[in-house]
Amino acid sequence: MDIDKDVDINALGQAIDTTWGRSSTPKTASYSVKMTLKEGFLLVSYAAIVNFATERQMVELKRAYSSEADSVVTETIKRVKQIYKEISGKTLSIKPSKGSESDSIEIINMSPHSANRTAYYRRKAMFVFGE
């Protein structure tokens, strides 16, 4: 699947770029959103650092962060569409690919002396171009 011929790849690249300048400076320290342009789709990756004490809390937090990640990604896509329109003068048609979302939790810090654990929560979603 190729990207729609009407999509200005240079403008889209500028709209999703968060590697330098003003766009690379996050407005929050609690999460990160990065985008990668792949063949025929846009991969959006959300990451946050979470803390929990029990396995049950981990499952509950996973549900809560999944919802938060979806709303953050939706806002990010709106911002990308706005920037794209400012740069190219055209409207970007992009929508989520159903069933493409995946999430994971990676424990990065735990101690036998404390119940608290720190982990990365990650969620990835694909967006396709076109009507």
pLDDT of amino acid 109: 84
CA separation for the pair 45, 34 (Å, rounded): 5
pLDDT at 57: 85
In a domain, 13, yes or no: yes
Q: What is the domain extent for residue 73?
A: 9-129
Q: How confident is the model at residue 124 (pLDDT cuts 50, 70, 90)?
A: very high
Q: Is residue 4 situated within a structural domain?
A: no
Indicate whether 3 belongs to any domain.
no
Q: Strands, DSSP E only, in the chain?
A: 31-38, 41-52, 94-96, 102-111, 114-129
Measure the N-to-C terminal CA separation of the chain; round to a whole number of Å.
Answer: 14
> How far from the centroid of its chain's Cα atoms is residue 43's Cα?
8
pLDDT given at position 23: 56
11-69 pLDDT, tens digit per residue, is 888 888 877 655 555 566 678 889 998 878 899 999 998 888 888 888 888 888 899 99
Hey, which residues does 125 pair with through a beta bridge? 44
Q: What is the mean pLDDT of residues 98-112?
A: 86
Structural domain includes residue 113: yes
Check residue 22 and give its pLDDT. Answer: 56
Across the range 98-120, mean pLDDT stands at: 86
CATH number at residue 65: 3.30.980
Q: How many domains does the chain fold into?
A: 1
Q: Are 117 and 53 in contact (CB under 8 A)?
A: yes
Q: Is residue 103 part of a domain?
A: yes
pLDDT of residue 1: 44
pTM tops 0.95, yes or no? no
In a domain, 114, yes or no: yes
Q: What is the pLDDT of residues 88-102, one digit of tens each?
A: 999 998 999 988 889
